[in-house]
């Protein structure tokens, strides 16, 4: 069965929402929250995972470490776009690789350890070829909405969400960081080492990898892995995301919007757009435009109405460029930047 033929029912939708709350929640906890058996959860998850429609991934939240996030736009000839997008997706330092605008443009995301680390930018590692007609990199200056908080897939009640919300053991934080046991927050994000690199690499492939698998990859004991995951999650350095096509959730028209907004109204427009149910990403950027958004609509009619009604009502937007997502080659899953 291919991902194109999988149809999610209400239980599947609720499982997706549950995993977005806690991607590593035990099957028993998931079952209790959803009101189904542990076996039902296991069977549903295996089905969605085996068909390639869903996976949980662990990703680095570089902002907690002072890293800078970038979005890169490449325009190229149609015959080069597919191969180039696939090559970019295979890199460990990319995420959210999309083919846009009829297959003549690629967008992707990357992180660097500092805003001025230009030599480490992905664009300096791109092949020199005439089939790439232009490249631009845009530093993300601030987020107002992120894919992890997009409400489009939400199905659960407040009570169910409370059952699933992780509550890390403070004593584990103390054991693993050197802070006093019972401390509610580490004073500083943890320093990452080679073991963390191996840990993130496995979690980027499967965020629900077993402790035994993570221990084998890092050379740590199972108990050390457990403590380290607690530290990384509690500090906000490690986040678990659900990687699923929006189309599987009923949103079949995706687009990226690049907007030029009057500077005095930029914050107000970004905040307003973050409240739109269609929007999964809003970020201020450098470059010819100063606001980027990702939108997910039910169909092209819905997208058209969103642009002509909701976006058009924000009169501080002076110019708008819309690029439909033709194909997504990679969503989440990037480990530490190289």
pLDDT digits (tens, 9 = 90+) for 195-208: 999 999 999 999 99
pLDDT of 59 strictly over 50: yes
pLDDT in tens, 227-251: 999 999 999 999 999 999 999 999 9
Residue 327's pLDDT is 94
Q: What is the pTM of this model?
A: 0.87
Instruction: Report residue 296's pLDDT band, with 50, 70 and 90 as the boundaries.
Output: very high
What percent of the chain shows pLDDT beyond 90?
Answer: 73
Instruction: Report residue 153's pLDDT band, with 50, 70 and 90 as the boundaries.
Output: confident
Instruction: Report residue 178's pLDDT band, with 50, 70 and 90 as the boundaries.
Output: very low
pLDDT of 269 strictly over 50: yes
All structural domains of the chain, each given as residue ranges with its CATH number in brackets, are: 3-53+154-243 (no CATH), 63-149+246-330 (3.30.70.3460)
Rounded CA gap, 138 and 288, in Å?
Answer: 9
Please report the DSSP string for 269-314 in residue order: HHHHHHT-TTEEEEEEESSS--EEEEEEESSHHHHHHIIIIIITT-
Residue 329's pLDDT is 93
Residue 186's pLDDT is 44
Instruction: Report residue 336's pLDDT band, with 50, 70 and 90 as the boundaries.
Output: very low
pLDDT in tens, 22-41: 999 999 999 999 999 999 99
pLDDT in tens, 73-88: 999 998 999 999 998 9
Element holding 243 (H helix, E strand): strand 238-243
pLDDT in tens, 118-140: 555 666 777 677 789 999 999 99
Residue 332's pLDDT is 81
Rounded CA gap, 59 and 306, in Å?
Answer: 31
pLDDT of 151 strictly over 70: yes
Q: What is the mean pLDDT of residues 274-289?
A: 96
pLDDT of 172 strictly over 50: no
Residue 249's pLDDT is 94
pLDDT of 180 strictly over 50: no
Q: Write out the two tokens for 140.
A: 């993300």
Q: What is the mean pLDDT of residues 165-194?
A: 56
pLDDT of 173 strictly over 60: no
Please report the DSSP string for 105-149 in residue order: EEEEEEEESSTT-GGGSGGGGS---TTEEEEEEEEEEEEEE-GGG
Pick left, alpha or beta for residue 35 (phi over 0 → left; psi -120 to 50 → alpha; otherwise beta).
left
pLDDT of 96 strictly over 70: yes
Residue 198's pLDDT is 95
Q: What are phi and psi of 111, to 5 degrees?
A: -130, 150
What percent of the chain shows pLDDT beyond 70?
Answer: 87
Residue 114's pLDDT is 64
Rounded CA gap, 271 and 263, in Å?
Answer: 13
């Amino acid at each position: 069965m291919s991902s194109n033929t999988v149809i999610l029912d209400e239980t599947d939708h609720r499982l997706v929402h549950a995993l977005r709350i806690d991607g590593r929640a035990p099957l028993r906890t998931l079952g209790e929250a959803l009101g189904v058996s542990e076996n039902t959860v296991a069977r549903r998850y295996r089905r969605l995972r085996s068909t390639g429609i869903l996976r949980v991934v662990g990703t680095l939240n570089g902002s907690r470490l002072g890293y800078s996030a970038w979005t890169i736009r490449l325009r190229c000839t149609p015959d080069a776009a597919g191969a180039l997008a696939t090559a970019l997706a295979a890199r460990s330092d990319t995420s959210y690789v999309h083919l846009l605008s009829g297959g003549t443009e690629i967008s992707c995301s990357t992180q660097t350890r500092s805003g001025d680390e230009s030599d480490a930018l992905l664009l300096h590692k791109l092949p020199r070829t005439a089939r790439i007609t232009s490249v631009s990199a845009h530093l993300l200056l601030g987020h107002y909405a992120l894919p992890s908080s997009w409400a489009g897939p939400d199905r659960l009640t407040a009570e169910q969400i409370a059952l699933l919300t992780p509550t890390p053991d403070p004593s584990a934080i103390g054991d693993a960081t050197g802070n006093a046991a019972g401390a509610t927050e580490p004073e500083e994000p943890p320093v990452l080492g080679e073991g963390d690199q191996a840990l993130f690499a496995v979690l980027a492939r499967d965020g629900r990898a077993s402790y035994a698998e993570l221990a084998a990859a890092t050379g740590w004991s199972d108990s050390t892995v457990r403590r380290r995951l607690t530290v990384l999650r509690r500090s906000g350095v490690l986040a678990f995301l659900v990687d699923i096509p929006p189309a599987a959730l009923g949103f079949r028209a995706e687009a990226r919007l690049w907007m030029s907004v009057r500077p005095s109204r930029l914050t107000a427009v970004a905040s307003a757009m973050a409240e739109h149910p269609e929007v999964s990403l809003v970020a201020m950027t450098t470059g010819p435009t100063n606001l980027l958004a990702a939108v997910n609509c039910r169909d092209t009619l819905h997208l058209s109405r969103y642009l002509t009604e909701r976006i058009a009502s924000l009169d501080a937007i002076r110019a708008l460029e819309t690029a439909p997502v033709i194909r997504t080659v990679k969503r989440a899953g990037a480990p530490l930047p190289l």
